[in-house]
């Protein structure tokens, strides 16, 4: 019964989504107030229906209702409750349901926090989000219904892919989806602005906090994924340039560019059509990511068994969304004239450099990700693009980007002089270069110029951010949140860059054969292997090794890496033993038994690897602070008061629409 | 996509920088620079646009050259054991080989991690792989695997990386394709397949 309610709610949600996408849009074009007013209730109804549907699927998982095919394939009675819950989005059908649920959450949030937005604009925004919902709901109902029943009913289900039975992974997909789908808000705002033919500072002020929050979720989602890959996959790496990782990085890069170009659109009324284009690309790349993961065209950790029909559906949907929004852009973008002007040395130029560098990075990653697919589709062979490709291109681009980050904060809008900016930052520049050279010489085993460069850039970016906050000449507690946000996000980026460059240059990684009682020396640490014993977990059996780590005769820690087996039909899992710290991680993973009490063991010493994720957390915090700046709320209040102000806008929009039709 | 983006950006530069700020530039720049600028000022909007398009093309060209170079040295083609035996695999660069791990072929050293195994396509084509690191969790005999590495001077394949399938029920589509008996692999490989079948 419960699965049927869920299924029924899903069908109803589709119907509501159709209404939500058609009527408010037509209403906005014909100035029909009643139809315009349908946007809010339909968006909220859709959220309620999808929440019901999602709750039904979750109930089926908690009750272990194996008559539902999807439940039987991804859950069993032995799994701990938290993984029964996370199994809801552990595979294709459920993760799609999560996708549309999150879409409706965003639409609901827009409908609630929309007080300053004109009803016409709101109608268009929610209608566009409704259209996206229609696409995904149709996709689910036609090709991947999570509520499909099966007969006969099995007594026990299969198990969730053990890789996903991990707390990090339980929250990684929802975070990532909040980010991916969050860009649909910016996208819908962009489409609405084009339809209305008007993109002003108020528009940018509405779009900015939404974009920021989506970006924060995406940042955290990517960081969680990378962290999980580090401790769960047992390879000790944190980024593999895996196509699916790239698929999440591309919207992040474009989203970062969008956040910065929105600032220009708000403050200086420039970059308008460019901003619209970025909003379209950010969401299109999120859809592309969904397509790449779900269609199974990629060989990747994330590519679950798949079905070509699904891939085709998403591909058609992707082409429709990108195609129609670009056509609209071609027709309407010339109307969005940028009026702000600027000179070569100005903050606008700094942000332009930021945008160009980020877009160039995105293009590089896109090419490296899709090129093998094209070559394969053309029948020219099967290739893979190695990490060195991505590294060779991103390092010079990163250099440009991070240099600009420091100067950018000090540049004035519209017009500035080299001398003024340089006089402010010259000591910081010198100091940053000094730190870059001294850190590898003083604290590391040898000098590595890439690490020196990375540290210098990181110090440059973080010191300029600090100096900038101090320069404002106000008490730090009275500064607007958006300033704190910018400074903290820049410092976060710097921390991540420092972590990346130092850990890439100075990590020691050894695969060794160790017998019980054998000791191995590496990076000043001594690892004593005490053999392996069997341990029982709730739904797995593990081989648990014991390694005592000492340094200069002093006990450091005892690590217990595991090799887990989740029963027949699943793959063994490597659970690494990690001694984490601010300055270094010790990472030990068990390989396989080699006979005679010997095991292959992977020993890593990774300096400051944790900075990569600490930096990401700081970036997330910065983005969040900026999104909750008082400025955005104050504007809303100011606009509500003169209620009449909304009326002419409806008239104006409709005359514009009338002109367009004429 | 890149082109669209560049177009917009250059548009932005064109309208903002030149139409509105040329007087400022005249005052700021030294005499020689100013003379250059003076040539630019009377230029028609169309000419400016052409210059920016040319600049844009140069930038795109440079970027493509850089990318192509980075690509060339970092692409790894996937070959089947069959093409190894036919001598079609280049010896001087990193390649990938895909196939099934032959039953009973995994051999380990008693003292180090050195090991070797045979990749086969179950049609009699075999190639021996040498490796000295930890094998992935899913590496099993009679299962598919992809190895990345190169042939050394003695024609032994030294793997740098071994990848096994990621899921207990799942075979990487590319390995499946390479192993498929009637694969639509074009070019040399197809010819040799036909030759062998004849």
Closest approach of chain A CAs to the CA of B95, in angstroms?
9
Q: Which of A383, A385, A391, A588 to mutate to test the interface with B (most CBs of B within 10 A)?
A: A383
Q: Which of B2, B4, B12 to mutate to test the interface with A (most CBs of A within 10 A)?
A: B12
The strand pairing partners of B148, in sequence order, are B96, B161
The strand pairing partners of A533, in sequence order, are A544
CB contact under 8 A, A304 and B170: yes
CB contact under 8 A, A382 and B186: no
Annotated domain spans of chain A: 1-165, 181-408, 508-607
- Using an 8 Å CB-CB cutoff, list chain B residues near A368: 71
- Using an 8 Å CB-CB cutoff, list chain B residues near A380: 186-187
- Using an 8 Å CB-CB cutoff, list chain B residues near A379: 184-186
CB contact under 8 A, A513 and B112: yes
For position B21, what pLDDT does the model report?
40
The strand pairing partners of B23, in sequence order, are none
CA distances (Å), A500 to each of A84, A606, B118, in order? 35, 11, 37
CATH number of B78-197: 2.40.50.140
For position B27, what pLDDT does the model report?
44
| Segment 57-76 of chain B within 8 Å of chain A by CB | 63, 66-67, 70-71, 73-76
Query: CA of A417: which chain B residue's CA is closest?
Result: B28
Contacts of A473 (CB under 8 A, 6+ apart): none
Higher pLDDT, B104 or B38: B104
Higher pLDDT, A654 or B165: B165
- pLDDT band of residue B76 (cuts 50, 70, 90) is confident
For position A377, what pLDDT does the model report?
76
Query: CA of B189: which chain A residue's CA is closest?
Result: A381
Q: Does A277 touch chain B (CB under 8 A)?
A: yes
Phi, psi of B12, deg, nearest 5 = -60, -45
Higher pLDDT, A162 or B11: A162
> What is Dmax (Cα atoms) for chain A?
86
CA distances (Å), A229 to each of A57, A163, A301, A625, B81, in order? 28, 10, 10, 28, 31
Higher pLDDT, A653 or A444: A444
CB contact under 8 A, B67 and A602: no
CB contact under 8 A, B134 and A592: yes
Has residue A638 got a pLDDT over 70?
no
Pick the closest to residue A632 from A32, A52, A117, A265 (CA basis).
A117
Closest approach of chain B CAs to the CA of A224, in angstroms?
20
Whether the complex's predicted ipTM is more than 0.85 is answered with no
Where do we find the tokens 């094209």?
A: A374
For position A312, what pLDDT does the model report?
79
- Using an 8 Å CB-CB cutoff, list chain A residues near B17: 342-344
Closest approach of chain B CAs to the CA of A491, in angstroms?
28
- pLDDT band of residue B22 (cuts 50, 70, 90) is very low
A104: tokens are 């409706």
For position A244, what pLDDT does the model report?
81
CB contact under 8 A, B74 and A385: yes
Mean pLDDT of A519-531: 91
For position A660, what pLDDT does the model report?
39
Closest approach of chain A CAs to the CA of B109, in angstroms?
9
Has residue A649 got a pLDDT over 60?
no
Q: Does B94 touch chain A (CB under 8 A)?
A: yes
For position B23, what pLDDT does the model report?
43
B74: tokens are 């970092």
A140 and A100 in contact (C-beta within 8 Å)?
yes
- pLDDT band of residue A417 (cuts 50, 70, 90) is confident
- pLDDT band of residue A66 (cuts 50, 70, 90) is very high
pLDDT tens for A372-402 read 888 877 877 778 888 888 888 888 889 999 9
| % residues pLDDT > 70 (chain A) | 93
Higher pLDDT, B41 or A86: A86
B2: tokens are 């890149």
How many inter-chain contacts (A to B, CB under 8 Å) are there?
Answer: 142
- pLDDT band of residue A355 (cuts 50, 70, 90) is very high
A296 and A304 in contact (C-beta within 8 Å)?
yes
For position A538, what pLDDT does the model report?
84
Q: Which of A92, A356, A381, A416 to mutate to test the interface with B (most CBs of B within 10 A)?
A: A381
For position B31, what pLDDT does the model report?
44
Q: Which of B168, B179, B183, B184 to mutate to test the interface with A (most CBs of A within 10 A)?
A: B168
Q: Closest partner residue to B12 among A270, A512, A592, by Cβ?
A: A270
CB contact under 8 A, A270 and B174: no
pLDDT tens for B78-134 read 888 888 888 888 887 888 888 888 888 898 888 888 999 998 887 788 899 999 888
Query: CA of B12: which chain A residue's CA is closest?
Result: A271
- pLDDT band of residue A240 (cuts 50, 70, 90) is confident
Closest approach of chain A CAs to the CA of B139, in angstroms?
10
Q: Closest partner residue to A299 among B9, B94, B172, by Cβ?
A: B172
For position A652, what pLDDT does the model report?
41
Has residue B148 got a pLDDT over 60?
yes
For position B172, what pLDDT does the model report?
58
- pLDDT band of residue B142 (cuts 50, 70, 90) is confident
pLDDT tens for A7-38 read 999 999 999 999 999 999 999 999 999 999 99
Q: Closest partner residue to A382 among B15, B16, B178, by Cβ?
A: B178
A295 and A314 in contact (C-beta within 8 Å)?
yes
Mean pLDDT estimate for chain A? 87
Mean pLDDT estimate for chain B? 68
Has residue B189 got a pLDDT over 70?
no
- pLDDT band of residue A639 (cuts 50, 70, 90) is very low
CB contact under 8 A, A388 and B70: yes
Closest approach of chain B CAs to the CA of A35, in angstroms?
36
Mean pLDDT of A152-167: 81
Has residue A618 got a pLDDT over 80?
yes
Annotated domain spans of chain B: 2-74, 78-197
Closest approach of chain A CAs to the CA of B153, in angstroms?
23
Q: Does A343 touch chain B (CB under 8 A)?
A: yes
For position B197, what pLDDT does the model report?
35
Mean pLDDT of A502-513: 91
Q: Which of A338, A382, A594 to mutate to test the interface with B (most CBs of B within 10 A)?
A: A382
The strand pairing partners of B75, in sequence order, are A385
> Distance of alpha carbon A316 from its chain centroid, rounded?
24
- pLDDT band of residue A648 (cuts 50, 70, 90) is very low
Q: Does A376 touch chain B (CB under 8 A)?
A: yes
How far apart, in whole angstroms, are the C-alpha atoms of residue A42 and residue A127?
A: 9
A116 and A636 in contact (C-beta within 8 Å)?
yes
- pLDDT band of residue B65 (cuts 50, 70, 90) is confident
pLDDT tens for A454-490 read 999 999 999 999 999 988 877 777 888 999 999 999 9
For position B43, what pLDDT does the model report?
54
CB contact under 8 A, B13 and A352: yes
Q: Is A604 helix (H, G, I), strand (E, B) or coil?
A: strand
For position A661, what pLDDT does the model report?
38
Strands lying side by side in the sheet with A584-595: A508-515, A598-607, A584-595, A577-579
Has residue A108 got a pLDDT over 90?
yes
pLDDT tens for A174-223 read 999 999 999 999 999 999 999 988 888 889 999 999 999 999 999 999 99
């Amino acid at each position: 019964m419960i699965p049927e309610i869920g299924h029924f709610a899903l069908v109803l949600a589709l119907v509501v989504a159709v209404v939500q996408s058609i009527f408010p849009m037509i209403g906005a074009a014909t100035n029909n107030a009643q139809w315009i007013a349908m946007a809010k209730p339909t968006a909220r109804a859709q959220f309620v229906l999808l929440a019901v549907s999602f709750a039904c699927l979750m109930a089926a998982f908690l009750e272990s209702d194996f008559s539902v095919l999807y439940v039987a394939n991804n859950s069993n009675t032995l799994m701990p409750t938290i993984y029964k819950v996370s199994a809801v989005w552990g595979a294709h059908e459920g993760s799609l349901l999560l996708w549309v649920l999150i879409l409706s959450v965003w639409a609901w949030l827009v409908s609630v926090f929309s007080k300053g937005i004109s009803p016409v604009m709101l109608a268009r925004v929610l209608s566009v989000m409704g259209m996206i919902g229609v696409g995904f709901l149709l996709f689910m109902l036609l090709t991947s219904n999570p509520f499909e029943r099966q007969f006969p009913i099995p007594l026990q289900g299969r198990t969730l892919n053990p890789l996903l039975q991990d707390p990090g992974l339980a929250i990684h997909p929802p975070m990532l989806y909040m980010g991916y789908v969050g860009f649909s808000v910016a996208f819908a705002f962009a489409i609405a602005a084009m339809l209305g033919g008007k993109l002003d500072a108020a528009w940018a002020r509405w779009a900015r906090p939404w974009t920021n929050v989506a970006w924060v979720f995406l940042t955290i989602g990517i960081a969680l994924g990378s962290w999980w890959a580090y401790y769960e996959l047992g390879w000790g790496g944190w980024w593999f340039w895996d196509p699916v990782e790239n698929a999440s990085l591309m919207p992040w890069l474009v989203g970062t560019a969008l956040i910065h170009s929105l600032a220009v659109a708000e403050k200086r009324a420039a970059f308008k059509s460019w901003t619209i284009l970025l909003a379209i690309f950010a969401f299109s790349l999120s859809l592309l990511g969904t397509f790449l993961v779900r269609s199974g065209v990629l060989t990747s950790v994330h590519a679950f068994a798949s079905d070509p029909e699904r891939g085709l559906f998403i591909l058609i949907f992707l082409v429709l969304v990108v195609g129609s929004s670009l056509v609209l852009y071609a027709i309407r973008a010339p109307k969005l004239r940028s009026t702000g002007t600027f000179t070569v040395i100005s903050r606008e130029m700094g942000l332009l450099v930021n945008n160009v560098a980020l877009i160039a990075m995105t293009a590089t990653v896109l090419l490296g990700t899709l090129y093998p697919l094209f070559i394969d589709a053309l029948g020219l062979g099967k290739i893979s693009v190695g990490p060195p490709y991505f590294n060779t291109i991103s390092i010079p681009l990163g250099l440009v980007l991070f240099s600009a980050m420091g100067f950018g904060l000090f540049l004035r809008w519209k017009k500035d002089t080299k001398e003024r900016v340089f006089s402010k930052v010259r000591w910081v520049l010198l100091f940053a270069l000094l730190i870059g050279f001294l850190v590898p010489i003083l604290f590391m085993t040898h000098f590595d110029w890439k690490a020196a460069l990375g540290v210098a850039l990181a110090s440059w970016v973080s010191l300029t951010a600090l100096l900038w906050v101090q320069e404002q000449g106000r008490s730090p507690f009275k500064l607007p949140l958006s300033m704190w946000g910018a400074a903290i996000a820049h410092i976060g980026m710097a921390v991540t860059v420092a972590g990346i460059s130092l850990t890439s240059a100075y990590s020691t990684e050894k695969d060794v054969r160790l017998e019980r009682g054998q000791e191995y020396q590496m990076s000043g640490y001594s690892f004593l292997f005490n053999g392996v014993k069997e341990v029982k977990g709730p739904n797995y059996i593990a081989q648990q090794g014991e390694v005592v780590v000492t340094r200069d005769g002093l006990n450091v820690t005892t690590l217990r890496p595991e090799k887990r087996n989740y029963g027949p039909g699943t793959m063994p899992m490597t659970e690494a033993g990690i001694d984490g710290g601010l300055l270094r991680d010790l990472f030990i993973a068990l390989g396989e038994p080699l006979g005679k009490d010997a095991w292959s063991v992977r020993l890593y010493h990774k300096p400051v690897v944790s900075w990569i994720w600490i930096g990401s957390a700081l970036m997330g915090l910065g983005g969040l602070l900026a999104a909750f700046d008082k400025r955005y709320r104050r504007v809303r209040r100011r606009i509500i008061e003169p209620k009449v102000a909304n009326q002419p806008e409806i008239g104006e929009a409709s005359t514009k629409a009338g002109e367009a039709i004429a | 996509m890149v082109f669209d983006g560049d177009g917009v950006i250059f548009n932005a530069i064109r309208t903002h920088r030149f139409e509105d700020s040329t007087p400022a530039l005249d005052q700021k720049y030294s005499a020689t620079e100013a003379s250059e600028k003076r040539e630019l000022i009377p230029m028609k909007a169309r000419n400016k646009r052409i210059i920016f398009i040319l600049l844009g093309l140069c930038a795109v060209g440079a970027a493509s050259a850089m990318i192509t170079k980075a690509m060339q040295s970092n692409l790894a083609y996937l070959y089947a054991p069959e093409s190894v035996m036919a001598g079609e695999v280049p010896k001087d660069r990193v390649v990938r080989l895909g196939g099934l791990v032959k039953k009973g072929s995994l051999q380990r050293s008693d003292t180090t991690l050195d090991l070797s195994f045979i990749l086969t396509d179950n049609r009699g084509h075999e190639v021996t792989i040498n490796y000295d690191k930890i094998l992935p969790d899913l590496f099993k005999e009679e299962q598919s695997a992809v190895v990345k590495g190169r042939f050394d001077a003695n024609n032994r394949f030294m793997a740098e990386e071994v990848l096994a399938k990621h899921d207990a029920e799942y075979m990487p589509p590319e390995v499946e394709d390479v192993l498929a008996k009637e694969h639509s692999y074009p070019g040399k490989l197809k010819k040799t397949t036909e030759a062998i079948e004849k």
